[in-house]
Structure 1
Amino acid sequence: MILVSACLLGHKVKYSGGANPHELLMRYNERGRFIAICPECFAMLPVPRPPMEIQGGNGKKVLQGKAAVQDAEGRELTSYMLTGADKALKIAEAYHARVAILKEGSPSCGVHRVHDGSFTGKYTKHPGVTAALLMKHGLNVYSEKDMTVGRLEELIAEDIRQDRI
């Protein structure tokens, strides 16, 4: 199975209450190989909610206890982000997932970049908390921006082959 950020599959779990539907992923979702995840929802954070950003680092540093997550109203949310990431990892383990396709820019799911903590729309080239945890545990983690028809076909074919072994 392949983990996919729920917002990319049209679920209205985005901090603003919306979704980030990704046409290609939504089309391939019909093949039954995806498991929709939302670490923020797993952590019981409300929808909608104020935006969050990592302060003083990135997802890897949050996992090491060297950075924090805070929302735009100043609330400390690090423990929630760690809980959500841990639940996503448990789902990956339960379903023997080896791949995740996550929402770029999210403090949880960002793969290549996340907001820099200034709440000004600027980014830093680092993963979010859940992406960092999944990578640490050996999953191949991609952004929706990495997806092409060819790449997605390869990932699904490999997932099916692994199920048969």
Structure 2
Amino acid sequence: MTPVLVSACLLGSKVRYNATCVSAGCEHMQWLRSHCHIMPLCPEVAAGLPTPRAAAEIVGGGGDDVLAGRAKIVTADGEDVTAVFLQGARQALALCKQHDIRYAVLTESSPSCGSNTIYNGEFGARKVPGQGVVSALLRANHVSVFSQHTLKQLRVQLSD
């Protein structure tokens, strides 16, 4: 079975900043669960952040900018949590390398896991094109990243 890294919150774990999960119960997620070896991970919790925790957003760019030191990740109350988010990204990459994972399904819009959109860093619930720090690091290391909204594309790719 193909190993796939999946955001734990997409699998029903209440690990998001507000102690909730994200619904991803579509037919494609069911197919993934039955045809792949799922490796669940919440990079933020793995790096030591509690649940619940303050909401965080990338300020000054996207995940690539965080990796390059040009942007940071801060909470709504102004705490810089960049180092913790980077640690979570490194843990996700280490898990991928350890288990030869080439695919990841990560939660869209998260400062860690967003693959196509992230919040704009102003805590006004406005999304912009971009990727989180985990998505950026995994893609830089040849892991294909999908979201709960692009599961069909992964399913097609794995079925070929």
TM-score of the two chains, using structure 1 as the length reference: 0.89
Query: Unmatched 5+ residue regions in structure 1?
Result: 159-165
Which of the two has greater helix per residue?
Answer: 1
CA contact (8 A) 1:8 1:26 kept: no
Report the AA paired with residue 7 of structure 1: C
Greater Cα shift, 29-38 or 9-18: 29-38
Q: Distance in 1 between matches of 2:31 and 2:75?
A: 33
Which of the two has greater strand per residue?
Answer: 2
Report the AA paired with residue 120 of structure 2: D
Root-mean-square deviation over aligned CA pairs = 1.5
Q: Shift of residue 153 of structure 1?
A: 5.5
Q: Shift of residue 33 of structure 1?
A: 1.2
Equivalent of 2:140 in 136, 142, 152: 136
Question: What is the 5 A alignment of 1:50-129?
Answer: 50-129=54-133
Query: Unmatched 5+ residue regions in structure 2?
Result: none
Q: Distance in 1 between matches of 2:82 and 2:154?
A: 33
Q: Distance in 1 between matches of 2:154 and 2:53?
A: 33
Hey, what does 2:6 align to over in structure 1? 4
Q: Shift of residue 154 of structure 1?
A: 3.8
TM-score of the two chains, using structure 2 as the length reference: 0.92
Report the AA paired with residue 52 of structure 1: A
Distance change (3 Å), C-alpha of 1:16 and 1:91: same
Q: Shift of residue 32 of structure 1?
A: 5.2
Percent of paired sites with the same residue: 35
Aligned pairs, number: 156
Q: Distance in 1 between matches of 2:150 and 2:114?
A: 12
Report the AA paired with residue 147 of structure 2: S
